[in-house]
Structure 1
């Protein structure tokens, strides 16, 4: 019986509950009014003249119904008003910044759905707040570090007793840190621009194979400097998208591969064409990425290299993921640092929808 009662409460919708409440109030009002008038007539409080009168009796009945109905309505609506008050209190706490607030209204079903949506909203807002705090903290750190470095070496350069070699070394550091600062500002602005973009307005047919070949030519000097082997398995496959944004994806991934591949290592770029899709794989040898770091590799300012020995500010892969998502695709990172085969260390796999291919 208890389970049946729970099932019935779960199935009664808000409109049905209102209808039942109105019917209950009306029924109880009529019954109580009838009983009171019967008792009043039985004990002689209402004589035959009043009962047979034209307007006095209906007025008495009307007033009695209003008083009794209002009293019953007040008691009957307390539970519903209590649920609404709980919701109002929860929204106040949420508006005040308490994202741990949760609602647990069970019935009617509309209130249960309201609770579930409210709790989901509170959870999402809490996640956004954490991301915002992390973004501010990380940005402040990444922004402050080169400024402090530039300031320190600029003060040293004021000394007259520096040799020419020391002065040139310190100037190179100032130039390098200035470039890092400019890169950080550009990446933040680019990421902000991409995040606010919901649709692609400059779509055109892009030859992805040719784009990647051009990126290889642009970064050829870096590849030769580290004596890297480059294995390309590219085709002239095309897809509809933003030529400029897609070019950023290939440049970022290739530059990352060069950066984290040791000297005389190997970078492999290959293309596949599953049904209606275009898949690009950027794979490089090296020490790989720690399994605990892989889920966070696309977070803003996150760098798996905690020593920060490699140049970068942790925004490149975030930008790549945003651009791929904007094109309706996915990107995943696979890394097996303990694997015996070195050419399988780290791979980034991009899958994009391709309506038309050559």
Structure 2
């Protein structure tokens, strides 16, 4: 899964987890660095200084017993161990470990010692059977190696240092995880919940519901963003109300003059004294006035449905009978065009609807299907029970279908999927918007699926009536 496709909530969680456990890892590495570079480095300097001081007490020649005793006296009072080796090539008897007579120093190291250089060794020493930090100080005079001082302290590996702390570290990580989970949940909810609420409100506004608002609980940047969003929603709601009022007023004012134009044109068409060209002009005026009258009526209808003044006359209705009744008026034209209408309905479904408004939706959908079908196509109407309290009406045709671009804009006022075809049949481009508004007024949903050249399916979901609401026999 790509980072860009993650939700903001997951990104915040990923950041918190990465930051917390990254901090733990950096702390462990820092402690390891301090141990290796600071502690070990300090010990190395101390051992070098101790070796040099003891070397200054050595008189040239064979190592005497008094010098050896003074040097090894440190072993009784300090964790630092000092051993005097008279034969640097082999581990002499003065080291209190089993002697295997392996070469103690290499030839190259011997040359370094003869030059007065110091050797620093760190790691596992097989003779001592543990990790040590050792400084080998040469006792040399005139390029004669009288012996060496083997000064060392036992050191633990980084694993040995942290091994006793593993249970504590595991417990600490678990405690941190619990704290992170509790605090992280609150933090991510605090950050993402307003954004999620705003996202849902944005979708509602995009769908035409301008009454959606987001709650504001803080005065920080998120609160200011929510306040700005609500101001935008208020402006959009006012603008939409003004637009609806304007359309309603204009439509209402146009009704009377249009009715006059339509009426007078009908009278003129009946006048036998008109010439043919005059009758043609009057016929155009009559047709256009009739189209404008339908547009005005649709605008008023849409404004009424979307406004608060529309009150549904809801009653328990047998949906199968309503669907058959709506389709009956289109059967003759369907037979004439060679289009088959198929019905499959559950006659027991009773919905709580306004029958007149739902019939208006069915008329619009069946009419649209007929307009987009040709001879040999079919229209299928099905009514099924979707869930315990929801029924589903599906109207499927095998007609021309729509493109994906057209589906995106479907339901917008005055939008036509095929302008030439719609104008041919006198459409106003408001039928789908009116149907959508009616279904949403019933607390239902309407969904369109279509593919160019393969037809269209319209799915409507409506609440069904409770048993107490159903009519008695």
Give me the TM-score of the superposition, normalised by structure 2: 0.43
CA RMSD of aligned residues (A): 3.9
**Number of the residue aligned with 1:178:** 289
Partner of 2:80: none
User: Matched residue pairs, number?
Assistant: 238
The structure-2 alpha-carbon separation of the partners of 1:289 and 1:240, relative to structure 1 and needing over 3 Å to count, comes to same
Which one of the candidate residues 194, 201, 205 is aligned to 2:316? 205
**Relative to structure 1, is the Cα distance of residues 205 and 193 closer, same or farther in structure 2, using a 3 angstrom cutoff?**
same
In 1, Cα distance between the equivalents of 2:375 and 2:287? 22
Structure 1 residue 259 and structure 2 residue 371: aligned? yes
Q: Conserved in 2, the CA contact under 8 Å of 1:303 and 1:314?
A: yes
- Which has the higher relative contact order, 1 or 2, with Cα contacts under 8 A spaced 6 or more apart? 1
| Structure 1, unaligned runs of 5 or more | 1-107
2:310 aligned with 1:196: no
Q: Secondary structure at the match of 1:174?
A: helix
Rounded Cα–Cα distance in structure 2 between residues aligned with 1:191 and 1:305: 21
Q: 1:277 aligns with which of 387, 390, 406?
A: 390
Q: Is the contact between residue 288 and residue 335 of structure 1 (CA under 8 Å) also seen in structure 2? A: yes
Shift of 1:225: 3.4
Q: What SS is found at the alignment partner of 1:274?
A: strand
d(CA) in 1 for partners of 2:242, 2:403: 25
The residue that corresponds to 1:332 in the other structure is 447
Shift of the 264–177 alpha-carbon distance from structure 1 to 2, 3 Å rule, reads: farther
Inter-CA distance 252–116: structure 2 relative to 1 (3 Å threshold): same
Q: Which runs of 4+ in 1 moved over 6 A?
A: 129-137
- Distance in 2 of aligned mates of 1:268 and 1:318: 22
The aligned counterpart of 2:352 is: 240
Aligned pair 1:118/2:233, yes or no?
no
Partner of residue 349, structure 1: 459
The question of whether the paired residues in 2 share the 8 Å contact of 1:288 and 1:346 is answered with yes
Aligned to 1:221: 332
Counterpart residue number, 1:304: 417
In structure 2, do the counterparts of structure 1 residues 279 and 192 end up closer, same or farther at CA, with 3 Å as the change threshold? same
Give the Cα separation in 2 of the matches to 1:173 and 1:207: 43
1:188 CA displacement? 1.0
Secondary structure of the residue that 1:313 maps to in structure 2? Answer: coil
Task: Describe the superposition over 1:175-219 as per-residue Cα deviations: whole angstroms up to 9, x where unpaired.
Answer: 332221111111111111111138855221011110111111223
1:1-358 equivalences in 2 (<5 Å): 109-125=218-234, 162-163=275-276, 166=277, 169-197=280-308, 200-236=311-347, 237-275=349-387, 276-307=389-420, 308-338=423-453, 342=454, 345-356=455-466
Larger relative helix fraction: 1
* Conserved 8 A contact 2:416-2:429: yes
Cα distance in structure 2, aligned partners of 1:324 and 1:300: 16
Cα distance, 1:335 vs structure 2? 0.5
In the alignment, is the contact (CA less than 8 A) between 2:383 and 2:393 conserved in 1? yes
User: Hey, which of these two has a bigger chunk of strand by percent?
Assistant: 2
